[in-house]
Amino acid sequence: MKKREDSQIIYKAALSVFSRFGYKKTTMEDIAGELGMTKGNLYLYARNKKSLYRDTISWGLRRWQSRVALAVEKENDLRLKFEVLCHKAIDYLSRDRELHRLMAKDPGIFPMFPDKDPFESINLDSIAMIRDILEQGIREKAFRTVDTHQISQVIFLIYKVFIIEAYIRGKEEEYNQMLSETLGLMTQGLFIPPAP
Amino acid sequence: MKKREDSQIIYKAALSVFSRFGYKKTTMEDIAGELGMTKGNLYLYARNKKSLYRDTISWGLRRWQSRVALAVEKENDLRLKFEVLCHKAIDYLSRDRELHRLMAKDPGIFPMFPDKDPFESINLDSIAMIRDILEQGIREKAFRTVDTHQISQVIFLIYKVFIIEAYIRGKEEEYNQMLSETLGLMTQGLFIPPAP
DNA sequence: AAATGAACAAATTGTTTATTTGTTCATTTA
DNA sequence: TAAATGAACAAATAAACAATTTGTTCATTT
């Protein structure tokens, strides 16, 4: 096996098997089998089962994140950037079956209330992405002035609720519709400004 | 023990003990002790441990709910009703130490994502309360027209996130401040309406 | 009528054994 | 010589059983 594409191949196979059986039920032999090798040999490519699991998930989450970032970059209007961010995050995950099945099998990957978030750095980057858009929008006077530190976290929380309900708990249809309605609430607000 | 105030006294004692030790660790003897009776006698007032636990929680949750409803009724302006609803729900719980300690000990009481909500009817009433305010506000042209069925549920979800973070997971300070900011976002919206 | 405490059943916990599975490494293969 | 193997071993998991606790009932007492 050639050294450069190794990790890609390993992660792909590991994600496939882990997403089918979950962490506990997959054995190192299963993954080795998927790769056409023996479990002893797999240890040339993975320190141990736990780190292989962790790295596989990181790989999957980063791929998700980069796809969203790419879609956002394509837009110019800040309002559209914000809406694309919200929609694309859901949209990508609905297509990456293996990733969201694995997330459904292990709620610890994307926990609503993490004690110690195992993928904290990835999620902090996502929050930073939201915050950047907020700050730019405020600077360009497209957005109302809000506490970007707090609101970016709140938006991430709400986004988590939707991701978990829709793709981890399998209520895709109900929540896709609700997402648009919620986006409307967040962007337009509930109150009608009193006439002057 | 007189028949009429019985349940009040029983629930008060049970809540006190359950909130200290949690369901598993409290024994019927503990609760009987708190009431100055023996565990055998406690069975004149409670079917069994599980139903006593359930009824005690229902009693605590209904008390919480009625306090919020009362505060909302006092306001006339729909915008204020909405804001009071959100603030009072948090405010009451911060004061009812026993209730929120018990909720912290047993996340199944107020689950973020219930499979089968043990206190569904209570929570449905809360959602109905939100919905009523939304519908009145829309009728009076104080609120923008939104899908009240969906938005009342979304607001309840967001409110759950805050309750859980602040009082079940014990991050009271951080989230109290965040709540106001979030209320602002929901009521005013993020986007600045384009000038005509 | 309300309360007790002994009696019993049900559930929980602790302990040990058996089995599986993760990990290493001396040896083989290409 | 780097990559792969499979036997060997250790660590974790599951199964089986005994010991203990605790929920629940009920004949008897206050």
Sketch out chain B's domains with CATH numbers: 1-46 (1.10.10.60), 61-187 (1.10.357)
pLDDT at A4: 44
User: Which residue of chain A is at minimal alpha-carbon distance from B158?
Assistant: A158
Closest to A112 (Cα-Cα) out of B99, B122, B169: B169
Instruction: Give the angle subtended at the CA of A51 by the CAs of A50 and A54, to the nearest 5°.
Output: 90
For residue B179, give every residue at least 6 positions away whose Cβ sits within 8 Å of its Cβ, in sequence order, or none: B86, B87, B90, B162, B166
Strand partners, A143: B191
Q: Is the CB of B179 under 7 A from strand D?
A: no
Instruction: Give the angle subtended at the CA of A183 by the CAs of A182 and A189, to the nearest 5°.
Output: 85
pLDDT per residue as tens, chain A (196 positions) = 544 457 899 999 999 999 999 999 999 999 999 999 999 899 999 999 999 999 999 999 999 999 999 999 999 999 999 999 999 999 999 999 999 999 999 999 999 999 889 999 999 999 999 999 999 999 999 999 999 999 999 999 999 999 999 988 888 888 888 999 999 999 999 999 876 6
Q: Is A100 helix (H, G, I), strand (E, B) or coil?
A: helix
Q: Which of residues 121-150 of A touch strand C (CB under 7 A)?
A: none
Least Cα separation, residue B88 to chain A (angstroms): 19
| Rg of chain B, C-alpha, whole Å | 20
Positions of chain B with pLDDT under 70:
1-5, 195-196
Contact A191 B190 (CB under 8 A): no
Least Cα separation, residue B150 to chain A (angstroms): 6
Tell me which residue has tokens 């915008």: B79
Q: Is the CB of A43 under 7 A from strand C?
A: yes
Show the tokens assigned to B158. Answer: 């967001």
pLDDT at B167: 86
pLDDT at A3: 47
pLDDT at B30: 95
Instruction: Give the angle subtended at the CA of A72 by the CAs of A78 and A63, to the nearest 5°.
Output: 155
Distance of CA B50 to the CA centre of its chain: 20
Other CB atoms within 10 A of residue A115 CB: 8
- What positions of strand D are covered by protein, i.e. any atom < 7 Å from a CB? 3-7, 14, 22-27
- C-alpha B4/C-alpha A69 separation (Å) is 64
Is A82 in CB contact (< 8 Å) with chain B?
yes
- What positions of strand C are covered by protein, i.e. any atom < 7 Å from a CB? 2-6, 12-13, 21-26
Assign residue B144 a region (left: φ > 0; alpha: ψ between -120 and 50; beta: otherwise).
beta
- C-alpha A19/C-alpha B114 separation (Å) is 23
Residue by residue, DSSP assigns B87-132 as HHHHHHHHH-HHHHHHHHH-TTSS-SS-SS-TTHHHHHHHHHHHHH
Tell me, what amino acid is at A42?
L
Chain A partners within 8 Å of B137 (Cβ): 190
CB B104 within 8 A of CB B43: no
Contact A189 B192 (CB under 8 A): no
Q: Is the CB of B38 under 7 A from strand D?
A: no
Is B154 in CB contact (< 8 Å) with chain A?
yes
Least Cα separation, residue A185 to chain B (angstroms): 6
pLDDT at A7: 86
Contact B182 A151 (CB under 8 A): yes
- C-alpha B120/C-alpha B112 separation (Å) is 12
Question: CA–CA distance from B24 to each of B19, B29, B47, B118 (Å)?
Answer: 11, 13, 17, 17
pLDDT at A196: 67
pLDDT at A169: 83
